[in-house]
Structures are given as structure tokens and as C-alpha cells.
A and B are shown apart, each in its own frame.
Chain A
Amino acid sequence: MPGKYHIETKEVPPRFNAVGRFGIIDLYETCARGCRNCVKKKCIYDIHKKEFDFAHSLDRPTEFMNECMNCLMCVQNCTRGALTRTQNPEYTWLGNEYWKPAIIAGIWKMAATAKLPVSGAGYGGPFSGPGFDSMWTDMSEIVRPTRDGIHGREYISTSVDIGGLPSNLEFSPGGELLGEESPVIDLPVPFILEVPRFGTVSRNVLEAMTRAARGMDTLFALDAEDAEEFAAGYAGWLAPRVKNSAIEKHAALIKSVRMICLEDSPDVLNAVARVKAINPGAVVKIRLALGDGADERVIELVEAGVEAIQLSADINGDIAYSDGRVEFIKDAFRRIHSLLVDRCVRDRATLIADGGIAMAEHLAKIIICGADCASLGVPFLVAMECRMCGACSRGVECPVNMSEVPPEDGAWRVMNLAAAWRNQLLEVLGAMGIREARRLRGEFGRAMFREDLERDTFQKIFAGA
């Protein structure tokens, strides 16, 4: 019996003290000094002591409680009321309106520990929101042949295929299979790694992601020039992005890999043929930007026999149209998936989602909306401690020195995050009673969309009244 897939993890503490959400401030004038009941000594999480040690060991006084667990016991019990808690302003500056501070802080935690986030109390977020927050996954209360409590997890597969499936097989009168077998890559996780479209992507970052791709047995898409450097020992896990004009130049590299990435262009089909001439056993993926004309282009490419298409939104998952409309990636995928299903060609190509996948739940949700898998870059950069502060784009020095990420630790942090995400994917797959990530694809029936629920509930009751 083959071994079960498992992502190796290792606890890797951050190189820099993580930016915490809260700060506890001492009002020194009020403190009694020498008080024998100091509440700081009673912190059940020992945060004050850790902070004290940290501040002293680095000779860097800090008032911010980066790991404060938010229990307020010290604030509420201090004899003189000398402590107060504030929001750490630095925390609110993390990320942007899509990559919220909580998302970034969450990624850091998972990247350090590989644990899936568990907490008590109910969900405290908004009722619903834009983007992925406007959908819920569904669970089935009674019929659940696949779910066997927490112990059923090992029977859930997160594998997906990259490549096209023919709609039927044809045989000669003698029983010989006709036509060529199309190449398929069996990925054990529903995502590939890609060079982040944002931030300081140093050589060390590339090396860390290359190692992680091999460690998890997935693929890492990077420019062919960089791929050449890592090809020795890692070729099977690299997916070089090759320019149409440089295909023959990288022939040796192309021969050694399982997937080649091309940018969409008017003569891309010709480029595909040239790549296939070099390595017929490899899957060729074409990336195109979602937006004007993308729907028609996808149909055109699939019907022309392209095996894998990566559809990109921006890093926030938004797609801008020339008429000023902005669409979110999940809606584009729902539509394009349905178009392909209607034309009976959906299984001829793999659709890869790119952009706006910032949490494990987004991965599950984009698969429900019709993606086979996702291409992830930014989350893994954040796993290596990127703060998404934008210093690099302003030409300012990176506060976490991304060019000095130790490749080995970086790889562990990427794998830790991936393991935590996969773990969460197993949770929702289990709750949905679905046994395979493959079967989740386009399973709109396992999701509930806000617009439908509002229409059937409140709109029905109140708009008519």
C-alpha cells in the first residue's frame, strides 16, 4: 500500500519579532514601584517576561506586546490601574484593504508552527463581505458516507491533475489505443508555487520556494533563466516560464521538466507546438489575464487543445474591465467554468486560479467556483515574513531583509504554511462530506452564495412588503 501523502513540517521561529496587534502601555508615574503584587508576574502566558527578555537581549526597548493574548488580566487587576492597552499602529499598517493585518498575522503564525488556527468563541467578523466573504460552504447534516470524525481525514485526498483529459478514447479494430496519450501531472496538493508578483524576490526566496516545491512534490513556476540555475536536482519540480522567442534556447531545460509555462500571445499555439516538439511528455500551461475578451479566449484555447490555462486577476483578486467594471476572481471562474461545461469541454483543460488567494478558505472556495487548482506566490512570500509594507516598491530598505532569508528555513516556513492550509482544506472537505479535492471542483451545490440567500430570505420577505 502506498504511503499516505504528508507535508513535512518543522517549527521555524521568525527572524524578526512579529508585529503584534496590541500594545500594553505602562504609565510609569502611576506605578507604585516595588509593588509585590505586580500583575506582570501573574500573566499566565508569561508575555511580560518574554517581552522583557526580548527588549533587553536586543537592547531595543519596546512597549508593544507582540504576543499579547488579549486577556486584559494585567490591565484590569493592576493595583494602581497603571496599565492600559492600545492598538499597535504598526499592525494596522500591515498589508492592504484585501490582505488584512489579520490575514498576514495568521500566515506568519502558520508559517512558524504549521498548526491550523483553532480558537474559542464564535466568529467575530462581518456577517458577509466582498469577494470570498460572500459565500459559505455547505455541510450535509445526515448523509455522510465519507466522513468518520477526525479519523476520516486520512481518507480524504487533496490530489489534483494538471493536463487535459480526452472526452473519449478511440481504439483501432485490433484494440490498440489510437492517438497520443496526453500528459497529466498528478499533484498531491491543489496548488503550484509561483514567483510572487509583489515584494523583494531575492535569489534566496527563489531557492526557498524551489526546495519547498520539491519537499511537497508540487511545482514552482519561475523564469527560465532562474530555473536554469536550480535545474540540477530540482528540475522535476520546476515549471520554467519561457518566452516564445527563447524556446529553443532553453531546449535542454524544457526536456528535463514536467511543465512549461507560456504567456498568452497571438502565436501561442505555434509556441506550444514548438515546446511539444522538444518535450512531448510535458504539460504546457498558458497564462492569460482575466478581463476583456478572456472568456472567449479561454474557450478558443481549450477547443484548440491547450491542456492547462492559468487565469490571473491582480493580487487582490480583482479584474478590471475597460468599461470600468471590476469583477472578483470567484465570479469570473464561476462563469468560465460554466461556459466550458456547457460546451462539453471542461475536462479538456486544467484551469489554474491566480490572484486573491490569501487564506486556506479562499483555496477551497475558488475550487468550488471551478478552478482545478491555484497558483500561489504572495502567501509564501508573507510566510517568509514579508510585511507587504511596500517599502521595496518605494525603493526603501526591506524591514525584514528578504534578500537574506535563509533558504532552508524559508523552505520550511513555506511548507509549514502549505501544511496548515492543506489541513484546513481537509477540515472543510470533511465537513462537506467530499472525499477528494478533484470532486470539489465546480461543485456549486456545496456552496451558498450571499446574493442567493439574501434574495430567497430577506429580499423575499421585505422587498415585497
Chain B
Amino acid sequence: MSMTIDNEIAAAPATREIKTAPSRFRNQIGAYKIFRSENCIGCGKCASLCPHGVHERFGDSGKMVRPRDYRCRGENCRSEEYFCINKCPVGALALRRNPVYSTLGDYRWTADLILSTWDQAENGHITNETLESEFGASGGGFDKLRFRFPAVPSGVDPSEVDTSLELNRRSDDPAAHKIKIDVPWYGGGMSFGSISDNMMVSRARAAAAWNTFTCTGEGGYPELLRPYDDHIITQIATGLFGVREETIQRVKIAEFKYAQGAKPGLGGHLLGDKNTADVARMREAVQGTALFSPFPFHSVYSIEDHKKHVDWIKAMNPRALISAKVAAPSDVDMVAVGCYYAGVHIVHVDGSYGGTGAAPDIAKKNIALPIEYAITRVHNFLADEGVRDEITLIASGGLRSAHDIAKAIALGADGVVIGTSDMVAVECIRCGNCESGRGCARGIASTDRELKNLIDVEYATQRLINLYNSYREQLVGIISRLGLRSVAELRGRTDLLMHLDYSKPE
């Protein structure tokens, strides 16, 4: 194992306490830029006016600190008493849109969603309400769905709302663990190799703090994660990289990855450059060679074969819950029912717009269903088969916000898996270069010894804890406004949603 992580920090449990976790960059990006001209007399008026902390005076020196313009609300302040631009006695301040803002993001993850996720990861709540934190601009799916909130307050006290999720619903497997997680999401699989051990251990610490799970992905189980065994899902994928009997025995949940939403029907791929000495050791492979996980499992061509797989894990770890991660082809409903009959506890459907460390662009866009279509299909089919309450349906693939999580549940999922949000929380900008050369220039999806240390474990853990807190706060807000008292009550309530193209206006 690399010696660069402080093992004491890695092993120290984190708590849910919200602490400000500022950006690790000197220049944080916001929607606006404030320019201060040489005319500034350092009177400090702007600092006393701005409620958002954009301006600060450097002690009593009569000098001003460079504006923290990422906090600036820009035009939204214009009508306010405290609008610094108008109040400056010497007219030294100017306000512009930040040109970087217009280059940030894409249809799914808009600049606002990225900036808002950063805000939430820094502060633990939404502090900048001028950013659109609910919708992207994809023009379909979640972005066309809205909740029908009642006009009169529901009277439900948010503190009464139960956000927990029971993962084992099978009545025919009493010996298996009963696992209740405190929030209806857990972290998606990201392997050691695709991301660094710093990032893995940070995700595990945040998952433990929130009593939920994170997943190792396919690529071994770093020793650093041992203190968090009860919050780790270990993944068994086709390459079986780093999969050992002993790692399966130490966890409470094992996940078969049959396919991944971003590259359904194709295997995993770790480019040679990212297969560093550490990664190669963990995966029992040769350093510098590209590693392919084949598709599919050559041992599974039917549900009966899949059942053998489940039995194989149950023989090693009889109390483990089994999750089957599948992509979303048009017959995903049938696959899900098959998974139930094969004995899994969790069926995890990964939609086609989900994240990946590397996939051909043609696969990311064109193969299999977006998750929004898949959820209701699977939910209804399981219900028709009479097994809906015997299995946990987890949705993933392109969920970006607390609102997406709530919508996925209202469409019929029990809970969700998030991955990209974790990355964005530690300041991923979705440039998509995770796979190239030394990996992520920002140190997130990299195992390069120099780059990975751009991520500090304390910082990353806290940012994730903060984001989860903010997500939970918003989820509780949505559920209580709808007059419900738990996540479980929200499941499948499409009557509480409306679709911009089809629903009749109220």
C-alpha cells in the first residue's frame, strides 16, 4: 500500500457533524466576478454590507482582501439595500458574469448543479439559493418531472420524517443480516485504480458516519478500508480483480456487477497508464498493462446460472446480502424478477446515463435505457409478480441531486446509488478525462502518487458528509411538504409527481 495516507486519520471514525470544508483551490469558481479597481480606498463599507461574505477587510490595514466572488449572488442583489456595486462611495466595484461559468457543465450537470453541489459540500446545506439545485437542462426524464406540493402546509414536522431504508426484505432468508441504512442511498462502485485510496477511504468514512454503504468496485479491497468493513459493499465483477474469499467474508453485502449503465454489454476497462504499481499489486496484474473485465460472466448465461453465483457467495458468507447490479435493457423488468428468484436481496438497476471511469462515447449515449424509464417498468413488473415487497429496488445512473433521489423513489425505487455526486463534492468538474494518462488532473480519479495527494482525506470526508447532510435535509423537506412521514411512504407515489409534457396543469 502506498505510504502517503496518514493511517491514523484513515482509521479515525468521522461524525455527522457539519464543519465548513472550503474549496481546496485558491480561486473558487462562481457565477459572477467582482472587480475592484485601484480607486478603492479600503473603507470596508462593502464588507460591512455584504451578507454573503464576498468582501473582507484585511485587518485594519485599510486594504481589502481579493473578493470571494464565488459567493456573490450578482444580479439577484441589485434590488437589495446592500448591493455593494451601488453603495461603494468611490464606485470602485464592478460586477460581471464569470466567463468560466459559461464554459462549465453540460446538459445533465449544469454549471448551477455543479456550483450548488460545491456549495452544499462546503457548508452542509444549500446556502446559495440563487443557484438552480433541483433541475438540469437535459430536457427529459427527471428534468421534466415536478412534485405536486400541496398549496396548504401539510403540518408534518420535518423532524418526524424517517429517511431510513431496510435493505433486506426477503422473508425466506431469515438468517441474512437485517440492515437498515439511515439515508436512502449508498455509494456506487468505484475501484481502486479508477480512483485513489485517498478517495476510497474518504467515501468509506462518510458512509460510516451516515450509517450507509460505499462500494469497492472491481479492483480489490485495500487494507485501509478494514475499519469500515460494516459499511463496505464488495463488488464481484467479471474480471474478478482482487476478489478473494476472505474479502467476501468480511462484508455484509456483496454485489455482482453484471453490467454497468454507462457501458452496458461491454466490459470494464482500466487503461494501462492508470495501472500503477500499487494498483497492479492489488489486482494481481502486471503494472502498465491495460486491464479488461470481459463481458459477460462466462459462468452466467441464464437465471439458473445466476442462482449458482448467489449460492457460491452464500456458501462463503451465509449471512451476506446479495445485490445484483444490472444495466437497463428493454427486458430489465424480466431480469429483475429473475434476480429475485435467484435469491438476491437487492436488485440495482443502473441507467444508461450513469458515470464511468472510462467508456466509449458511443456506449455512454446509445445503449440501453435511461434510468427514468427503467424504474417504473421494474417496479410495476415486480408488483405484478407479487414480489415487490420481497426485494429492494435500487436505482442509479444520472442522479444529480436530492430532488432526483426523491423523484426516483416516487417513480418506484426503494433507494438509490450515487457516484458522480461524490466526485463533484470533492470538486470534480466533469471534464471527462478520468481515463487518460496519469488520470484526473484534479487528483480525484487518479492513482498517480503525486496527483492523488491533491485530495486530503479529512477534506474529502467532510465534503461528503456535508453533501449527504444537505441531501437529507432537502429530502426531509420534500417528504414533509408532501404530507408524508417516511421515504418508504414516498415509494411509487407517481400521483405526487407531474410531467411537464403530459400532466394537465393544476
A residues contacting B by CB (< 8 A) are: 22, 25, 44-45, 69-73, 75-79, 81, 84-87, 106, 116-129, 136-145, 147-151, 359-361, 364-365, 424, 427-428, 430-433, 448, 453-454, 457-459, 461-463, 465
Interchain CB contact (< 8 A) of A136 among B103, B238, B369, B423: B369
B29–A72 CB distance below 8 A: yes
* B99 interface hit (Cβ, 8 Å): yes
What are the 10 A-B residue pairs with the smallest beta carbon separation, nearest first? A120-B434, A149-B294, A127-B140, A431-B265, A124-B106, A139-B265, A71-B441, A76-B25, A462-B502, A119-B432
A103 to chain B, nearest CB (A): 11
A87–B103 CB distance below 8 A: yes
Known: A120-B433, A127-B140, A457-B376. A427 touches B66 (CB 8 A): no
Q: Told that A120-B356, A124-B432, A141-B264 touch, could you supply 7 new A-B pairs with CB distance under 8 A?
A: A44-B438, A119-B358, A121-B431, A123-B398, A125-B365, A126-B107, A150-B269
What is the CA–CA distance of A145 and B494 in the complex, to the nearest angstrom?
38
A119–B435 CB distance below 8 A: yes
What is the CA–CA distance of A218 and B454 in the complex, to the nearest angstrom?
50
Q: Mark B350-362, 1 if CB is under 8 A from A, else 0.
A: 0011111111111
Residues of B within 8 A of A463 (CB): 502-503
Known: A120-B435, A430-B265, A432-B265. A139 touches B329 (CB 8 A): yes
Known: A71-B442, A75-B100, A430-B266. A121 touches B432 (CB 8 A): yes
A130 to chain B, nearest CB (A): 11
A119–B265 CB distance below 8 A: no
B232 to chain A, nearest CB (A): 23
Residues of B within 8 A of A122 (CB): 108, 262, 353-356, 364, 397-398, 420
A77–B108 CB distance below 8 A: no
Give the residues from 470 to 504 in chain B that come closer than 8 angstroms, CB to CB, to chain A.
494-495, 497-499, 501-504
Known: A119-B359, A139-B367, A461-B376. A81 touches B265 (CB 8 A): no
B102 to chain A, nearest CB (A): 6
Interchain CB contact (< 8 A) of B367 among A79, A124, A428: A428
Residues of A within 8 A of B294 (CB): 148-151
Interface residues on B, range: 35 or more
A73–B442 CB distance below 8 A: yes
B429–A70 CB distance below 8 A: yes
Give 13 pairs: A residue, B residue, CB < 8 Å, sorted on A.
A72-B442, A120-B435, A120-B440, A121-B355, A122-B262, A122-B355, A125-B107, A141-B326, A144-B265, A145-B301, A150-B295, A428-B366, A430-B295
* B415 interface hit (Cβ, 8 Å): no
Known: A71-B441, A121-B420. A76 touches B26 (CB 8 A): yes
Give the residues from 22 to 36 in chain B that come closer than 8 angstroms, CB to CB, to chain A.
25-29
* B282 interface hit (Cβ, 8 Å): no
B residues contacting A by CB (< 8 A) are: 25-29, 66, 98-100, 102-103, 105-109, 137-141, 143-144, 238, 258-259, 262-267, 269, 292-296, 298, 300-303, 306, 326-327, 329-332, 335, 338, 352-370, 372-373, 376-377, 397-398, 420, 423, 428-438, 440-442, 445, 451, 494-495, 497-499, 501-504
- Nearest A-chain residue to B142, judged by Cβ: A127
B361–A85 CB distance below 8 A: no
- Nearest A-chain residue to B98, judged by Cβ: A84
A142–B300 CB distance below 8 A: yes
Residues of B within 8 A of A136 (CB): 352, 366-370
What is the CA–CA distance of A60 and B417 in the complex, to the nearest angstrom?
50
What is the CA–CA distance of A364 and B365 in the complex, to the nearest angstrom?
13
Residues of A within 8 A of B262 (CB): 122-123
Residues of A within 8 A of B265 (CB): 139-140, 144, 147, 430-433
Residues of A within 8 A of B335 (CB): 141-142
B207 to chain A, nearest CB (A): 21
B365–A361 CB distance below 8 A: yes
A76–B366 CB distance below 8 A: no
B264–A150 CB distance below 8 A: no
B266–A431 CB distance below 8 A: yes
Interchain CB contact (< 8 A) of A126 among B99, B140, B267: B140
B369–A458 CB distance below 8 A: no
What is the CA–CA distance of A129 and B137 in the complex, to the nearest angstrom?
12
B27–A77 CB distance below 8 A: yes
What is the CA–CA distance of A110 and B100 in the complex, to the nearest angstrom?
28
Residues of B within 8 A of A142 (CB): 296, 300-303, 306, 335, 338
- Nearest A-chain residue to B374, judged by Cβ: A457
Interchain CB contact (< 8 A) of B360 among A69, A87, A128, A427: A427
B362–A361 CB distance below 8 A: yes
A79, A142, A143, A462: residue with the most chain B Cβ atoms closer than 10 Å: A142
A70–B433 CB distance below 8 A: yes
B163 to chain A, nearest CB (A): 25
Interchain CB contact (< 8 A) of A118 among B108, B295, B360: B360
Residues of A within 8 A of B370 (CB): 127, 136
B367–A137 CB distance below 8 A: yes
- Nearest B-chain residue to A446, judged by Cβ: B330
B432–A125 CB distance below 8 A: no
B264–A78 CB distance below 8 A: no
Interchain CB contact (< 8 A) of B445 among A120, A430, A459: A120
B26–A143 CB distance below 8 A: no
What is the CA–CA distance of A63 and B331 in the complex, to the nearest angstrom?
51
A140–B331 CB distance below 8 A: yes
A44, A45, A75, A86: residue with the most chain B Cβ atoms closer than 10 Å: A44
Known: A73-B442, A76-B25, A149-B295. A458 touches B398 (CB 8 A): no
Known: A87-B102, A143-B301. A81 touches B27 (CB 8 A): yes
A161 to chain B, nearest CB (A): 25
B362–A461 CB distance below 8 A: no
- Nearest B-chain residue to A445, judged by Cβ: B330
What is the CA–CA distance of A251 and B286 in the complex, to the nearest angstrom?
62
A329 to chain B, nearest CB (A): 17
A143 to chain B, nearest CB (A): 7
B429–A126 CB distance below 8 A: no
Known: A127-B139, A431-B367, A462-B503. A139 touches B360 (CB 8 A): no
Residues of B within 8 A of A137 (CB): 366-368
- Nearest A-chain residue to B28, judged by Cβ: A76
What is the CA–CA distance of A72 and B105 in the complex, to the nearest angstrom?
12
B361–A119 CB distance below 8 A: yes
B111 to chain A, nearest CB (A): 12
B108, B352, B365, B442: residue with the most chain A Cβ atoms closer than 10 Å: B365
